[in-house]
Chain A
Amino acid sequence: EAGVTQFPSHSVIEKGQTVTLRCDPISGHDNLYWYRRVMGKEIKFLLHFVKESKQDESGMPNNRFLAERTGGTYSTLKVQPAELEDSGVYFCASSPLSGPYNEQFFGPGTRLTVL
C-alpha cells in the first residue's frame, strides 16, 4: 500500500513568488492534515480536511495560504506571495475517519526555502 506522498520534495523560491505544494493521502483516508515545521520549532498544525471540506483551519497563519482538496482526494497548499518566514518543512498527514487507532500517517514533507 502506498503511503502519503508529497510533491515537490524541495522548493526554492524568491520572496514574492507563488508556490503550490501537493499532497496525495493514503487511498481511502478521508482525514487530511497539513502541518509545518519552521527551523528550530515544533511541528505545528495548519489545517484539517474531512473529505473535501475544511474541518479546522485555525492553524493557517494568514490569508497568503490557501488550501484545497479536490474531490476529497489530493490536496494542494498554495502560498502567495511567499515571505521569508514561510520557509520550513511542510508535512501532510492522513488518517481514516474511524478505526481502532487514532493514528496519522505522515508524508516525507516538502522543504520550502524562500530567499
Chain B
Amino acid sequence: QKEVEQDPGPLSVPEGAIVSLNCTYSNSAFQYFMWYRQYSRKGPELLMYTYSSGNKEDGRFTAQVDKSSKYISLFIRDSQPSDSATYLCAMNWNYGQNFVFGPGTRLSVLP
C-alpha cells in the first residue's frame, strides 16, 4: 500500500463547476497537509496549507482534513480554465521534514 493515494484522473469539468480532489493516507503521524498546484513544465506551487484536522478557506479554494479517516480534500468553486493543472497533495509530520506526495490529479477545466 502506498503511503499517500490520490486518484490520478484525468478529471475534466466545465467552467464554473465545483471540483473535489481527494487524498487518503496511511501514516497517522502526519500533521501538516498541503495542496500544491503544478502547471506543465513548472515546479509545484503551494495552494493551501492545513495543520491537523479542520477546514481552511482561501478565496475559491477550501481544504479539509479529517485525520480520523486519514482523508484530505481540496474543493475548487467556480472553476476556471486557468485552474487546469496537476494538483498534488503533500504531507509531513514535523516542521522542516520532507514531504510525502500523492501522485497528483490532472484537472482540465473546459471553457
Interfacial residues, chain A to chain B (CB-CB below 8 A):
4, 31, 33, 35, 41-45, 48, 50, 56, 59, 91, 95, 97-98, 101-109
Interfacial residues, chain B to chain A (CB-CB below 8 A):
2, 4, 32, 34, 36, 41-46, 49, 51, 88, 90, 92, 95-104
**Are the C-beta atoms of B41 and A108 separated by less than 8 Å?**
yes
Number of A-B contacts (CB under 8 A): 57
A1 to B3, CA, bound (A): 35
**Are the C-beta atoms of B43 and A106 separated by less than 8 Å?**
yes
A56 to B104, CA, bound (A): 24
A42-B4, A106-B44 known; A56+B98 contact, CB < 8 A: yes
**Are the C-beta atoms of B96 and A97 separated by less than 8 Å?**
yes
A91-B43, A109-B43 known; A103+B49 contact, CB < 8 A: yes
A95 to B44, CA, bound (A): 14
A95 to B34, CA, bound (A): 14
Which of A33, A97, A105 contacts B98, CB < 8 Å? A33
A-B contact pairs, 9 of them (CB 8 A): A42-B2, A42-B4, A102-B34, A103-B34, A103-B49, A104-B99, A106-B43, A109-B42, A109-B43
**Are the C-beta atoms of A42 and B95 separated by less than 8 Å?**
no
Residues of B within 8 A of A31 (CB): 96
A4 to B43, CA, bound (A): 10
Q: Which of B45, B51, B95 has the most CB of A within 10 A?
A: B95
A45 to B90, CA, bound (A): 11
* Shortest distance between the CB of B41 and any CB in chain A (Å): 7
> Who on chain A is nearest to B101 by CB?
A43
A43-B88, A108-B41 known; A102+B100 contact, CB < 8 A: no
